[in-house]
Structure 1
Amino acid sequence: MESGQDDRRGGAVPEDQTQRALTELIAGRRLGVLATIKRDGRPQLSNVVYAFDRERGLIRVSVTDDRAKTANLRRDPRASFHVSSDDGWAYAVAEARAELTPVAADPGDATVEELAGLFRSVQGEHPDWADFRRAMVAERRLVLRLHVDRVYGVSPRG
């Protein structure tokens, strides 16, 4: 991953320290904003719950097959992902390439297994995994994998 800093408040931060701080901001959150590209070229934004694997530079999101963001990413896999601090002054933007798993078709398939792992990493154990697995198929869910290419933003001060 490449990083950069857009800090209009001044004070340069070394590249490795900036990268660490921005990565920590992404890793420390669970709610972000996914930006995809609509057919007319304008951005389409969605608030999403996510899990971030910092070792792999991978953001994962559970999405449904019928949503605009899914259609947009099938057409154009470029995406941006925005996360901000509680006060909004610090933020990180991850530019990424999207990969979509197959739609969940069976409660025991690989997509449902990955969705279960994603749920665990974000929310912990589900009270009824059999029901969860059936719901993933009924809702036509899949996993959006965002392979992060570049991170930039304003790192938290502290």
Structure 2
Amino acid sequence: MARKYATAEAVAADELHDFIRPRHQMVLTTFRSDGSLQTSPVTGGLDEHGRIVVASYPQRAKAANIRRDPRASVLVLSDEFNGAYVQVDGPAEVIELPEAVEALVGYFRAVAGEHPDWDEYRQAMVDQGKCLIRVTPQRWGPVATGGFPPS
């Protein structure tokens, strides 16, 4: 069996966006009030401004943490466990209802495409009391894969 070697490719912002756009499995890391890390598996997308977007609920730990400390890190994963990944760090914000409704439409489009009934979707977001988390990429590591050291 051939060895699989680790890779790490530095990418520019447009290449980062191209990498993230088709990937929706992510791990969001925020900071608890005591400074320790809080990590959540999430479904995310990339909005039209190149920000990572995640739908959530205002009372969830990740939203409360971001309101208190507006920094986050997102690990964007490939569908296959040993596929390429990238860590993205940056300022984060929580968008609350009613302002969140249209941003949640953008989130749905980024993750799943067009909805058959946008009015129904908008109402469901209001009924469920959703919010939207946005992370603006400020720093990112290389797009990497695991494996043996290359040398």
> Shorter-chain-normalised TM-score: which range?
0.7 to 0.9
Letter in 1 for 2:11: Q
Report which stretch shifted further, 68-77 or 144-153: 144-153
Q: Deviations over 1:105-149 (max 9, x none)?
A: 4xxxx4212211221221122233333222211222122111111
Report which stretch shifted further, 148-157 or 91-100: 148-157
8 Å Cα contact 1:89-1:154 kept in structure 2: no
8 Å Cα contact 1:22-1:91 kept in structure 2: no
Letter in 1 for 2:35: G
TM-score (normalizing by structure 1): 0.74
2:117 corresponds, among 94, 105, 128, to 128
Q: How many residues align?
A: 139
8 Å Cα contact 1:22-1:92 kept in structure 2: no
What is the distance in 2 between the residues matched to 1:76 and 1:42?
12
1:31 aligns with 2:3: no
Which sections of structure 2, spanning at least 5 residues, go unmatched?
A: 147-151
What is the distance in 1 between the residues matched to 2:118 and 2:83?
39
In structure 2, the residue corresponding to 1:28 is in which secondary structure? coil
RMSD: 2.6
Residue 18 of structure 1 is matched in structure 2 by 10
What is the distance in 1 between the residues matched to 2:21 and 2:142?
14
Identical pairs, percent: 38
8 Å Cα contact 1:29-1:83 kept in structure 2: yes
In structure 2, the residue corresponding to 1:93 is in which secondary structure? strand
TM-score (normalizing by structure 2): 0.77
